[in-house]
Structure 1
Amino acid sequence: MTKCFFAIDLGATSGRTIVGYFTPQGLVTEEINRFPNYLIEIGKHFYWDIYELYRNIIEGLKIVGRRKELEVISIGIDTWGVDFVCIGKDGGILRQPYSYRDPHTTGAPEKYFQRISRSKVYECTGIQVMNFNSLFQLDTLRRNNDSALANAHKILFIPDALSYMLTGEMVTEYTIASTAQLVNAQTRSLESSLLESIGLSKQHFGRFVYPGEKIGNLTEEVQLQTKLGAIPVVAVAGHDTAAAVAAVPAANHNFAYLSSGTWSLMGIETQTPVITSETEKLNFTNEGGVDGTIRLLKNICGMWLLERCRINWEGTSYSTLIAEANASEPFRNLIYPDDTVFANPSNMEEAIKKYCINHNQPAIETRGQLVRCIFESLALRYRQVLENLKSLSPHPIEVLHVIGGGSRNDLLNQWTANAIGIPVVAGPSEATAIGNIMVQAVAAGQATNIASMRQLLRRITPLQTFYPEHKEIWDAAYLQFQTITQ
């Protein structure tokens, strides 16, 4: 019987369950089930379907339960950040959780900063100000007299809510909580003064845990449904980016990472928070990582741009779109990917076309032109953020590791290398699930620490390196890009 780890990896557009185990040759992973994660739009609000996510997780566990050759050692859950579930005194979920893309937090930071200064919040948390941070979501619900919040006995972030549904135990995992802008970056625990500012206390949250700690065992109900035993659920890096960064196959500290998916998250690893007037001005974030690290990073709008366009293109394959982009005219159109107009438009394709017209650019006429516009704009935005990171990093940045689904996009990887002027190393594409499994392996005593796991990954993972080309052309394009971001 093969002993394996069960990873639950949920993104903002899809989820999957994966089993992983170690052999003399390295790490073997197998996808068990994959499922969409749809936004529910009703009453002018956007919600996640927490019950459907749970149902699909149970389905994955049932499949493994029927696999007599597999023995599950533990289970770990990672998801996107900031969103949360309100739990009543009777233990029930009070309503479906709001999505961070809900427009109800538009302008929320400015309203909050009328009471507590922006600088004070950043000095405490080191978290970049984004309107959907949990701090502003909760303050918005408070101002709107939201009934779920008013009756909440506990507030659980998404991975913690799902682990609660599996185990009956309520926890607050450090890496996911750090995205909320409610954690003190120095003490690495919930900050009472910020909680009090929105009418909450630490008692509204579950037991605080860190990556590698046990949450609890599967409930008898789940055991009966899945035909599995009292398997422990482990607090991995609950935030998917923290899990992905754990799986960066870096040779040393002189690297930056780009976790490329719906969001692009570019950053470096540090041992202590980097909270200065410069990082505040640039709106960089200090999120919790594994093994006591801090992830100094910037959120960048990523494949969300293309994913939303593909809704109108009847599922045209990525390979077709990439070929069309490659055949189109270079630098004909550029956008600023992080402009608020691209946050959640009803029609992304039209939003991009309108943006180009409003910025005195030629009208986009073909699908290839639009996809090329997205890819080139992302590559140039990566350069902009990386230049800031170089000025903040305590060590040189010699290579950019691209991990996650975007690492499979050879065209974008090459253009990124061209834009930033240093090599890009792509892989692993399944970094988030691998990082999830790595933390479980350390917790189970199958590995010493994350550093040793990274060395293993570097040996066994097929990696592809892209070297910079056409420097003068990309330097000129960057100057063009800067004119639309000023």
Structure 2
Amino acid sequence: MNQYILVLDCGATTLRAVAVGMKGEILAISSLPNVPRLQSGCEDCLVWDLDEIWNKFLQIIPKVRSQIDGKVAAVTVTTFGADGTTIKKDGTLTYPVISWQCSRTTGWAKKIASFISPREIFRITGYQIIPFNTIIKLLWMRENVPEALDEADTYMMMPGLLSFKLCGEMSFDYPSASTTMMIDIRTKKWSERLLSLVGLDETFFPPFLPSGGVIGQVTTKVSTETGIPVGTPVIAAGHDTQFALIGSMADQSEMVLSSGTWEIAAIRIPEYRDSEKAFETGIMTEFDAVDGLWNPQMLMMAGGVVEWVRRNFFADMKDRSDIYSLMIDNAREIEPGSGGVIMIPSFMPSGPNKPYETKGTILGLGLTTDRSQVYRAALEGLSFQLKQAVKAFYETFGFEPTAVRVVGGGSKNHLWNQIRADVLGLPVITTSCEEGTVLGAALFAMVGSGIARSLEEAKKMIEISTRVWEPSENWPHYQKLYEEYEKLPLFLASHYRNKI
């Protein structure tokens, strides 16, 4: 009987159960929507309803299993970072899971700097202050609902909470831990200094488990509800970013770009060192899923900008199923440089232009400017932003990528891939596997369940193809355009800092 890995992928908009074969092929997928809920009694507060999420998984897991013949070799969970909550030993939550989309923690994101400087936080954790960081939520809870912390036995992140539903065992994976802003990025131990701000110590948390470690086994109750055999191993995975890196099948010399609504440009390095430049440019560092490696990364708005252009400039085509193909085809007819239109895609306060407090900006509009020029300018601006990230990685870590491997929804846009290659002067690689995060989690589950003896052996079992976009004859022109683009954030800084 054929074996497969069952990956539970909890996304911010979609919950998916995915069956992955031993060659990396996607055998079956079933999904349901996922949205945060307004919390009763807390105005504009958003939480994840863990029971609702779990009940949806109980619906889609049997649907996946019914589509294929075979045995579930292992189950694993991957999801977003930063979110988790306090819990009792019996699995009872003492407070809902505060969503990363919730605004209640904005005040504490500013206030934490009065206790410890942002630079010192970065030195300890490798992380920038963002309102949705785990420690910010815990500070809010300590101030507003201290009983939730006092009555709890422990705290788990979303991967641990969902794995607990499967097997009844508590866990904390390293990749998720590095999104908490409470862990020492060098030692892989909890920071006493940061935990003390919340009145906690390391004994409050479950023991760490490396990705690929066995958390427990599927319980009789879950087996009855899903059909997964009792005793099936539940394997630790964790934060989705790290598994997109693994599932991309990239060489360590490549930079990986996980491109969706947001883009995360990430590299894998064997040694971490603190850097003023990394702090200034907004780089954050997390633990790689492989022990002994670190993932410096830059978070940038990407597909969200493309969606903004579609919504505001192509509204008359919104009901067409081929709207994206038409946008791409029309933009392909525009010459590099978009007729003088330039877009700075800083629609959110993150990425390489954050130090300048730059906002989304369009320059060079005229009476004859058309929407295809604006769309191409958006793709070019996003590619310039990516080049800024590549430059920051070089200046900070001395890392020069040999290529950029793109995964996620943004990898499907062929025009964008070519513009990336031309702007970067580097090969851009995509793979035939559109489920990089899921594949990465499955690879670790193959190791944890004993199907493969190592990650390298598991990767050798995978059969996927790649496509390469080499820099074209437009590359020299884009280098000149980038030189002009690079000057703009500093030039516009006085305008945006004055809040005019």
Q: CA deviation at 1:417?
A: 1.0
User: SS state of the match for residue 186, structure 1?
Assistant: coil
Superposition TM-score, scaled by structure 1 size: 0.87
Q: What CA deviation, in whole Å up to 9, does each residue of 1:348-382 have, x standing for no partner?
A: xxxx9x9547x785699876455434322211110
| Cα distance in 1 for residues equivalent to 2:190 and 2:114 | 22
Query: Partner of 1:384 in structure 2?
Result: 388
What corresponds to 1:115 in structure 2?
A: 115
* Residue 278 (structure 2) pairs with residue 279 (structure 1): yes
Which residue matches 2:404? 400
Q: Pick from 26, 31, 34 the counterpart of residue 29 of structure 1.
A: 26
79-88 vs 61-70, greater mean Cα deviation: 61-70
Q: Which one of the candidate residues 430, 443, 447 is aligned to 1:442?
A: 447
Please say if 1:130 is aligned against 2:139.
Answer: no
Structure 2 vs 1, CA of residues 225 and 115 (structure 1 numbering), >3 Å: closer, same or farther?
Answer: same
Q: Distance in 1 between matches of 2:299 and 2:281?
A: 12
**How far apart are 1:59 and its partner, in Å?**
2.0
Where 1:184 maps in the other structure, the secondary structure is: coil
Task: Please give the alpha-carbon distance, in whole angstroms, between the structure 2 residues aligned to 1:364 and 1:231.
Answer: 66
| Cα separation, 2, equivalents of 1:49 and 1:365 | 46
Q: Which residue of 2 aligns with 1:38?
A: 35
CA contact (8 A) 1:5 1:440 kept: yes
Matches within 5 A, 1:1-40: 1-22=1-22, 26-40=23-37
Taking the aligned partners of 2:281 and 2:458, their CA distance within structure 1 comes to 33
Q: Does 1:218 align with 2:221?
A: no
Q: Secondary structure of the residue that 1:113 maps to in structure 2?
A: helix
Matches of 2:365 and 2:149, distance apart in 1? 46
SS of residue paired to 1:27: coil
Q: 1:103 to 1:362 in 2, by over 3 A?
A: farther
Matched AA of 1:40? R
Amino acid at match of 1:409: N
Confirm or deny: 8 A CA contact 2:248 2:407 kept in the other structure: yes
Instruction: Please say if residues 174 and 289 of structure 2, whose CA atoms lie closer than 8 Å, have aligned partners that are also in contact.
Output: no
TM-score (norm 2): 0.84
Aligned partner letter, 2:329: A
> Is structure 2 residue 464 aligned with structure 1 residue 461?
yes
* Partner in structure 2 of residue 180 of structure 1: 180
Q: Name the SS of the counterpart of 1:211 in structure 2.
A: coil
- Per the alignment, residue 323 of structure 1 pairs with 329
1:24-43: CA deviation from partner (whole Å, max 9, x where unpaired): xx332223202222233462
**Distance of 2:4 and 2:465 partners within structure 1:** 22
CA distance in 2, matches of 1:476, 1:129: 34
- The question of whether the paired residues in 2 share the 8 Å contact of 1:253 and 1:395 is answered with no
Q: How many residues align?
A: 469
- Cα distance in 1 for partners of 2:89, 2:449 equals 33
Matched letter for residue 270 of structure 2: Q
1:475 is the counterpart of 2:484: no
Report the equivalent of 2:348.
339
C-alpha distance in 2 between matches for 1:244 and 1:197 = 33
CA distance in 2, matches of 1:128, 1:340: 12
Q: Residue in 2 aligned with 1:419? A: 423
Q: Distance in 1 between matches of 2:332 and 2:24?
A: 35
Q: Which amino acid aligns with 2:143?
A: R
Distance 1:416 1:485 in 2: 20
Paired residue secondary structure (2:136): helix
Question: What secondary structure is seen at the aligned counterpart in 1 of 2:176?
Answer: helix
Output the amino acid matched with 1:38.
Answer: V
SS in structure 2 at match of 1:103? coil
Distance 1:308 1:41 in 2: 25
Residue 175 of structure 1 and its aligned partner are, at CA, apart by: 0.7
**Residue 434 of structure 1 aligns to which amino acid in structure 2?**
L
Deviations 1:235-281 (A, max 9, x none): 4430101111112323x432111111232111211122232222222
Q: Any conservation in 2 of the 1:76–1:440 contact (CA below 8 Å)?
A: yes
Q: Confirm or deny that 1:156 pairs with 2:156.
A: yes
Q: Which residue type is aligned with residue 455 of structure 2?
A: I
| Other-structure match for 1:50 | 50
Residue of structure 2 in register with 1:304 after alignment: 304
Cα deviations by residue, 1:432-485 (Å, 9 ceiling, x for unpaired): 01001100111122223223444554xx31211111231243223323433442
Distance 2:202 2:147 in 1: 20
Of all paired residues, the percent bearing the same amino acid is 25
Deviation of 1:217 (Å): 1.6
SS in 1 for 2:290: helix
In the alignment, the residues of structure 1 paired with residue 465 and residue 392 of structure 2 have an alpha-carbon distance, to the nearest angstrom, of 30
- Determine if contact 1:249/1:455 at 8 Å carries over to the other structure: no
Give the alignment's Cα RMSD to 1 decimal: 3.0
Task: Give the residue type in structure 2 aligned to 1:337.
Answer: S
* Cα distance, 1:221 vs structure 2: 1.8
Determine the C-alpha separation between the residues in 2 that align with 1:239 and 1:375: 28
Are the equivalent residues in 2 in contact too, given 1:403–1:429 (CA < 8 A)? yes
Distance in 2 (CA, whole Å) between partners of 1:216 and 1:334 is 50
3-state SS of the aligned residue for 1:281?
A: helix
Go from structure 1 to structure 2 and tell me whether the alpha carbon gap of 1:69 and 1:296 turns closer, same or farther (over 3 Å shift). Answer: same
Q: Quick one: which amino acid aligns to residue 435 of structure 1?
A: G
Letter in 1 for 2:187: T
CA–CA separation in structure 2 for the residues paired with 1:166 and 1:296: 32
Deviations 1:208-236 (A, max 9, x none): 21111111122222111123322445344
Letter in 1 for 2:410: G
Query: Tell me, which stretches of 5 or more residues in structure 2 are unaligned?
Result: 352-357, 491-500
* Distance (whole Å) between structure 1 residues aligned to residue 83 and residue 369 of structure 2: 38
What is the distance in 1 between the residues matched to 2:19 and 2:107? 42
CA distance in 2: counterparts of 1:183 and 1:243, whole angstroms: 20
Aligned residue number for residue 349 of structure 1: none
Q: Deviation at 1:412? A: 1.4
Q: Structure 1 residues 340 and 2, CA, compared in 2 at 3 Å: closer, same or farther?
A: same
Which position in structure 2 is the counterpart of 1:197? 197
CA contact (8 A) 1:217 1:231 kept: yes
